[in-house]
Amino acid sequence: MSLSPLASAYYDRTLALLAEAREKNAPVIARLAPILGASVARGEVIHTFGSGHSEIIAREIVGRAGGLVCLSSIQDPTSGFIENLVGYGTALVERYDRQYELRPGEVVIVISNSGKNSAPLEVALHAKKKGCVVVGLCSLAMSSTAKTVHPGGKNLHALADHTLDNLGVPGDTLMPLTPDIATGPTSTFIGASLLNWLMLSTMEWLRDNHHPLPVLRSQNIPGAIEHNRTVGAPYRHRLSRQLA
């Protein structure tokens, strides 16, 4: 039995969008891989933040088997419920900073599909104040047109040092279901792919430049827990998601 016509059309359109996202973002990823690689080589941590549904993307690369151990996510206990309460994002990132530290030169990846909500903007602003490199991941079409609720007036793409574009349409719904209803989100699928491409490129840069590779193994593999504890030891007080 095949997929329904709507699901099949969504499959075709998302595959085309994935290919387009690869081409559009390849130059940005090529610029970022040495920046992230050099940071990892210095023993630093890469931080991620996503509010609301973007939290899924922020967590995608953290604590991942086959991924770098030195990744930490700034977690929002409200899951984005008060992401537009001005000042909340600042309080959140300041608390995280006190506990895990944001150090000058480290990379902070901020994910917000719309690029307009207050919490991710405040995380980005705090990171820049601390001398971090801010990478924004958003729908550039939406971030460049939607009015921000933050009094600073700038959206994520205008604050970030580097921007990854998920090529999403405003509203994050690709497929028309009825004349009044659209469905078919793409931000998670494309956003997670962009971050995985970035991580692979970063690890490749580390390998090619003869730096250590602090890469996690799946805990289902014999000896993996011991390995993960060993590679994670230099970072254990700086990771919001602790190793086994």
The rounded distance, in Å, linking the Cα atoms of 157 and 227 is 38
Quick: pLDDT tens for 154-192: 999 999 999 999 999 999 999 999 999 999 999 999 999
pLDDT tens across 80-131, in order?
999 999 999 999 999 999 999 999 999 999 999 999 999 999 999 999 999 9
On the question of pLDDT at 244 being above 90, the answer is no
Q: Can you give the residue ranges of every domain in the chain?
A: 5-235
CA proximity to 107, closest of 185, 153, 194, 45? 45
Q: How confident is the model at residue 241 (pLDDT cuts 50, 70, 90)?
A: confident
pLDDT for res 1: 82
The tokens describing 112, both together, are 């917000």
Residue count (the chain): 244
- pLDDT value at position 115? 94
Q: What is the C-alpha separation between 227 and 193, in angstroms, rounded?
A: 26
pLDDT digits 0-9 by tens, 26-68: 999 999 999 999 999 999 999 999 999 999 999 999 999 999 9
Closest CA to 204 of 46, 30, 24, 63: 30
Confidence band for 214, pLDDT divided at 50, 70 and 90: very high
Provide the mean pLDDT of the chain: 96
Region 218-232: mean pLDDT is: 95
Q: What is the DSSP string of 37-82?
A: HHHHHTT--EEEEE-TTHHHHHHHTTT-TTSBS-EEE---TTTTTT
Angle ∠(43,46,50) on CA atoms, nearest 5 = 165
What pLDDT score does 149 carry?
Answer: 87
CATH fold of the domain at 5-235: Rossmann fold (3.40.50)
d(C-alpha 37, C-alpha 163), whole Å: 17
CB within 8 Å of 127: residues ≥ 6 apart: 47, 93, 102, 108, 110, 134
